[in-house]
Amino acid sequence: MEPPSDGNMTEGDSADEDEPSSINNLSGHQLRSAAVVTINRQDDTESPETPGSEDDDEDANTDNADNADDDAVYSNEGDAAKAPVENRRAATASGAKTKNLTARRRKMQSRQWCKEDLDVQWPEFQLPPKNYIGATDPVNLFEYFVDDDICKFLVDMSNNYARVDKGNHGVDISVDQLKAFLWILLLSGYVNVPRWRMLWEVESETFNATVSNAMRRNMFEMVKRFLHCSDNRKLNAADKFAKMRPLMSMLNERFLACSSLEQHLCVDESMAPYFGRHGAKQFIRGKPVRFGFKMWCLCERLGYLIQFDPYQSGEYDKDVGLGASVVLNLVSKLPQSVPFKLFGDLFFTSLHLIDELKARGYGYTGTVMSNRTDRCPVMPPKLLAKKPRGFHDFQHDRAADTIVVGWNDNRPVYMASSVHGVNPVGICTRWSASEKKKISVELPDTVAKYNIYMGGVDRMDENMANYPSGSGQRNGGGLCLSSASKPAFTMHGKSIAKLTRARNTHLTFSNSDAQLLGPT
């Protein structure tokens, strides 16, 4: 029996017309329309979890949602049109949930937490032999990093770019002209002018006779225009810094070879100012340098740069995370079998990173987020904040020989370390707003060591910001020039302090470099 052709001629009303349509109250054209049934099937390939865990609850919610979608049957015309779209959305959401659950279900090392301090017998550190045994004056130190090989490479790449890519066969830049160009860039760190041409304007008060005698203005602009660090026909399309990568690699090799390699090293981020257009440019609100390139840096305590690598999104190991990938990449070039002690902030720190570094023979200490401690039973932030200032709680993982320390300063701070424990507990001075005076509070050894050795990258940023070397920012010359000048200044300062116990300022060093690198 077929339904009546007129929707108003029915044998009886089974429900109120104002109510939503149901399978028991359908019109004739809905009953005559083709029925569409869509069933989503998804194989459950997840590994079994511990009963009662949070992942099981999320799986149960996901399975219930999937079952509800599987049981849905669309039999009217309006729902039939919506069925494919809704099921695609449900399948997409379900797949995203499953993918997120899989990412969160990384195998965590079994922890054995107990209330005891860390007791580690760290191997004795022996300084590796230094590769640089030359003079420690500003010019020789700078020329060790920016040597004739780098200058010859830059000259070849610049001439090749001008002739092949731009078709200008009259360009013939020499090594001496490139060195004069670099000298002017160093000079611009403390002799700053709004426009480069003002250094050659005779009638202006900004005229610089030394610059004018060193290089003609047109030659300077030509070098600045064609300066290049790579061959455009051999670029790696996946590398956003492919044009600067050869120069960065050569500088990193020289930084590491000349480093004194102290036992305590720190990892942090640094911002190189840049206001042009680039796919890797970052914006960080509230920072002194808001626009520019983010550089991952490995430094010594006094600011000597050992390794640096620019950040570009997407390049990191998903199994360990971005922060841990950065640290592992920077320390991969360090000498093997040397027990370095690394320090990092909460962006990098995780217990998984500490385990990876310990397997390589490195120790690590750093601030850590309270939710990255693998369910450590240390006192949570809400309770720790109610304790007196200087109060600390700690838990020791016997399985990995790692300690997690919670310390209440003006707010709770959490530390994780594989080399420094709580004892000996020291004393530090803090300002008390309630008592209107300075008070003494307890300071765990983990926090004390972190405060001593973590500021190396900040020291480097401070010195580089005082007299930044200018350049045509489009090709990153100022970034690499400043990167080479800073280690040279740090080494010069160490040598001066050891020999004469006197201090040499960064301005004096830059001035000596600029004067001696210029033409005689």
Q: Taking residues 59-76, report their average pLDDT.
A: 40
Whole-number mean pLDDT of the chain? 77
What is the band of 78 on the pLDDT scale with cuts at 50, 70, 90?
A: very low
Q: What is the pLDDT of residue 317?
A: 76
Question: Looking at the DSSP assignment, which residues form a beta bridge with residue 367?
Answer: 415
Least trusted range by pLDDT, from 111-125, 244-258, 505-519: 505-519
Q: What is the pLDDT of residue 286?
A: 79
For helices 138-145 and 245-258, angle between their N-to-C axes, nearest 10 degrees? 130
Least trusted range by pLDDT, from 49-63, 336-350, 391-405, 496-510: 49-63
DSSP category for residue 239: -
Least trusted range by pLDDT, from 108-112, 146-150, 243-247, 350-354: 108-112
Q: Are 217 and 197 in contact (CB under 8 A)?
A: yes
Per cent of the chain over pLDDT 90 is 34
Q: Check whether 12 has a pLDDT greater than 50.
A: no
Per cent of the chain over pLDDT 70 is 68
What is the band of 11 on the pLDDT scale with cuts at 50, 70, 90?
A: very low
Q: What is the pLDDT of residue 517?
A: 47
Q: What is the pLDDT of residue 290?
A: 86
Q: Taking residues 150-165, report their average pLDDT.
A: 93
Q: How far are the Cα atoms of 79, 200, 238, 273, 290 from residue 282, in angstroms, in the given order?
A: 46, 35, 18, 10, 8
Give tens-digit pLDDT for 325-382. Answer: 999 999 998 988 889 999 999 999 999 999 999 999 999 999 999 988 988 999 999 9
Structure tokens at 311: 């950040």
Around 254, how many Cα atoms within 13 Å sit in the side-chain half-sphere?
Answer: 23
What is the band of 189 on the pLDDT scale with cuts at 50, 70, 90?
A: confident
d(CA 156, CA 227): 10
Q: What is the pLDDT of residue 48?
A: 38
Higher pLDDT, 45 or 194: 194
Q: Check whether 223 has a pLDDT greater than 50.
A: yes
Higher pLDDT, 138 or 498: 138
Least trusted range by pLDDT, from 113-127, 357-371, 446-460, 493-507: 493-507
Residue from 288, 247, 306, 257 nearest 457 by CA: 306
Please report, as a single letter, which amino acid is at residue 192. N
Q: What is the pLDDT of residue 6?
A: 52
d(CA 330, CA 353): 13
Higher pLDDT, 146 or 40: 146
Give tens-digit pLDDT for 373-384. Answer: 988 999 999 999
Q: How far are the Cα atoms of 370, 378, 385, 406, 432 from residue 389, in angstroms, in the given order?
A: 18, 17, 8, 12, 9
Q: Taking residues 443-469, report their average pLDDT.
A: 86
SS3 428: strand
Least trusted range by pLDDT, from 95-99, 118-122, 382-386: 95-99
Label each residue of 350-390 as H, E or C. Answer: CHHHHHHHHHCCCEEEEECCHHHCCCCCCCCHHHHCCCCCC
SS3 271: strand
Give tens-digit pLDDT for 281-297. Answer: 888 887 788 888 888 99
SS3 138: helix
Structure tokens at 141: 């130190």
Q: Are 105 and 47 in contact (CB under 8 A)?
A: yes
DSSP codes of every residue in 397-408: ETTTTEEEEEEE
What is the band of 57 on the pLDDT scale with cuts at 50, 70, 90?
A: very low
DSSP codes of every residue in 79-135: HHHHHHHHHHHHHHHHHHHHHHHHHH---PPP--EES------PPPP-PPPPS--S-
Least trusted range by pLDDT, from 77-86, 161-170, 207-216: 77-86
What is the band of 499 on the pLDDT scale with cuts at 50, 70, 90?
A: very low
d(CA 73, CA 79): 9
Q: Are 333 and 307 in contact (CB under 8 A)?
A: yes
Whether cis (ω within 30° of 0) applies to the bond prior to 424 is: yes
Question: Looking at the DSSP assignment, which residues form a beta bridge with residue 394?
Answer: 405
Q: Taking residues 458-478, report their average pLDDT.
A: 65
Residue from 236, 190, 230 nearest 475 by CA: 230
